[in-house]
C-alpha cells in the first residue's frame, strides 16, 4: 500500500485531528492485529470501524472469506474505500448512530475490528456491551493511558469504575503496545491493542454495575458512605463485615468478585 501521505495528497485531503486520523503504517502491527483478531471466536461476519485508508482492510480481505462491512465517517475516505474495495459495503457516517438491529440479528455473530478514533474509546466499548447478543469479540487499539485504565489492578490510580464495568462485560487480552511511530502522522502517545471477549449476561449484572457506580461516586470518600447515599436501605457496615472487608475501605481496593458479593445485598 502507498504511504498515507501520498494517498491523502492524491485525494487533496489532510489527516483530520478532529476525527483522530492517525493512519497505521507498520506492516508488522497491521499483520499482528489482523491475525490475532481473526483467530478468536466463532463469527459469521467482520466489521471494521474507521478503516481510514484501508491498512487493516487490505489484510482482512486476504485472510478471511467472511463477509466484511466498513464504517467510515469521512466522506472522501469512504469514496476512496469504495474504489479500493468495490465488493465490500462501506457505510459512510458515525458508527455510533447505527441501529444494530438493521445490520445483524441473532443467531448471527459479528467480530469487530478498529484502530479506534481515540476520542470515542468509552462510547465504543459501551456500544459493544449493549450489543453482546450478536458479538463474537472485538479488537480495539486505544491511547495507552486509556488502555491502562481498562487493565488496571486494584489499589492503583488507574483502577476505577471503567475497569470494573468493562470486566463485568468482557474478558480482556492485552496484545501489546504500538509505538507512536507505527502511525502517520505520529500521535503524541503510544497505543495499546486489546481483544475483548464477551461474558454471558447474568441477572445480577445490572445490580453489580449500579453498585460499582455508586461506590466510585466520590473517590475520596469511604465506600460505605458512598453506598449509603445511593442504597440507604442496606446496612453496608454489616455487609462489609460479613464479607471480611474493612468498613473504612475505599472503592479502589475491591475486586470485581467482592462487588458481586455485595451487589446481592441490594433488593
Ligand atoms: N483504520 C485506519 C488505520 O489503521 O490506518 C485508520 C485509523 S484512524 C486512528 C481512525 C479512523 O476512524 C479515521 O479514518 C476516521 O475518519 C474514522 N472515524 C472517526 N470517527 C468515526 C466515527 N464516529 N465513525 C466511524 N469512523 C470514524
pLDDT in tens, 171-211: 999 999 999 999 999 999 999 999 999 999 988 899 999 99
pLDDT of residue 235: 95
Q: Whose CA is nearest to atom 8 of ligand 1?
A: 21
The Cα–Cα gap between 56 and 34 comes to 7
C-alpha cell at 188: 503524541
Mutate to test the pocket of ligand 1, among 52, 124, 139 (most ligand atoms within 8 A of CB): 52
Looking at ligand 1, which atom is closest to the CA of residue 50? 12
| 64-85 pLDDT tens trace | 999 999 999 999 999 999 999 9
> Mind listing the domains of the chain with CATH numbers?
4-198 (3.40.50.150), 205-263 (1.10.8.100)
Q: Whose CA is nearest to atom 18 of ligand 1?
A: 50
pLDDT of residue 258: 96
DSSP 133: G
Q: Hey, CA dihedral for 181, 184, 190, 192, is it positive or negative?
A: negative
The Cα–Cα gap between 142 and 227 comes to 31
Measured at the alpha carbon of residue 226, what is the angle toward residues 220 and 227, in degrees to the nearest 5? 145
pLDDT of residue 38: 98
The Cα–Cα gap between 176 and 142 comes to 11
Peptide bond into 155 cis (omega under 30): no
Pocket residues: Cβ below 6 A from ligand 1: 19-24, 49-53, 55-56, 71-74, 77, 94-96, 115, 117, 120
Look up the pTM and report it. 0.95
Residues 6+ apart with CB under 8 A from 200: none
pLDDT of residue 267: 82
pLDDT of residue 172: 98
pLDDT of residue 203: 84
Task: Give the distance (Å) from ligand 1 centre to CA of residue 168.
Answer: 27
CB 135 within 8 A of CB 110: yes
- How many other CB atoms sit within 10 Å of the CB of residue 206? 13
The Cα–Cα gap between 249 and 247 comes to 6
pLDDT lower than 70: segments of the chain: none
162: left (phi over 0), alpha (psi -120 to 50) or beta: alpha
Looking at ligand 1, which atom is closest to the CA of residue 23? 5
Amino acid at each position: 500500500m502507498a504511504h498515507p501521505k501520498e494517498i491523502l495528497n492524491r485525494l487533496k485531503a489532510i489527516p483530520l485531528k478532529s476525527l483522530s486520523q492517525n493512519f497505521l503504517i507498520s506492516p508488522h502491527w497491521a499483520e499482528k492485529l489482523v491475525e490475532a483478531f481473526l483467530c478468536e471466536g466463532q463469527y459469521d461476519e467482520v466489521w471494521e470501524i474507521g478503516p481510514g485508508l484501508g491498512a487493516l482492510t487490505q489484510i482482512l480481505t486476504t485472510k478471511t472469506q467472511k463477509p466484511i462491512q466498513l464504517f467510515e465517517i469521512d466522506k472522501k475516505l469512504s469514496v476512496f474505500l469504495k474504489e479500493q474495495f468495490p465488493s465490500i459495503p462501506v457505510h459512510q457516517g458515525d458508527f455510533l448512530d447505527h441501529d444494530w438491529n438493521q445490520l445483524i440479528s441473532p443467531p448471527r455473530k459479528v467480530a469487530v475490528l478498529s484502530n479506534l478514533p481515540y476520542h470515542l474509546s468509552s462510547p465504543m466499548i459501551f456500544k459493544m456491551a449493549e450489543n453482546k447478543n450478536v458479538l463474537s469479540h472485538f479488537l480495539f487499539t486505544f491511547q495507552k493511558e486509556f488502555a491502562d485504565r481498562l487493565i488496571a489492578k486494584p489499589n492503583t490510580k488507574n483502577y476505577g469504575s471503567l475497569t470494573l464495568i468493562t470486566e463485568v462485560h468482557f474478558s480482556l487480552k492485552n496484545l501489546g503496545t504500538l509505538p507512536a511511530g507505527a502511525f502517520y502522522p505520529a500521535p503524541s502517545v503510544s497505543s495499546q491493542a486489546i481483544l475483548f471477549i464477551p461474558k454471558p449476561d447474568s441477572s445480577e449484572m445490572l445490580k453489580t454495575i449500579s453498585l460499582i457506580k455508586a461506590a466510585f461516586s466520590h473517590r475520596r470518600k469511604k465506600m460505605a458512605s458512598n453506598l449509603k447515599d445511593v442504597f440507604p436501605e442496606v446496612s453496608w457496615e454489616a455487609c462489609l463485615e460479613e464479607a471480611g472487608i474493612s468498613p473504612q475501605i475505599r472503592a479502589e481496593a475491591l475486586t470485581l468478585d467482592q462487588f458481586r458479593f455485595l451487589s446481592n445485598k441490594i433488593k
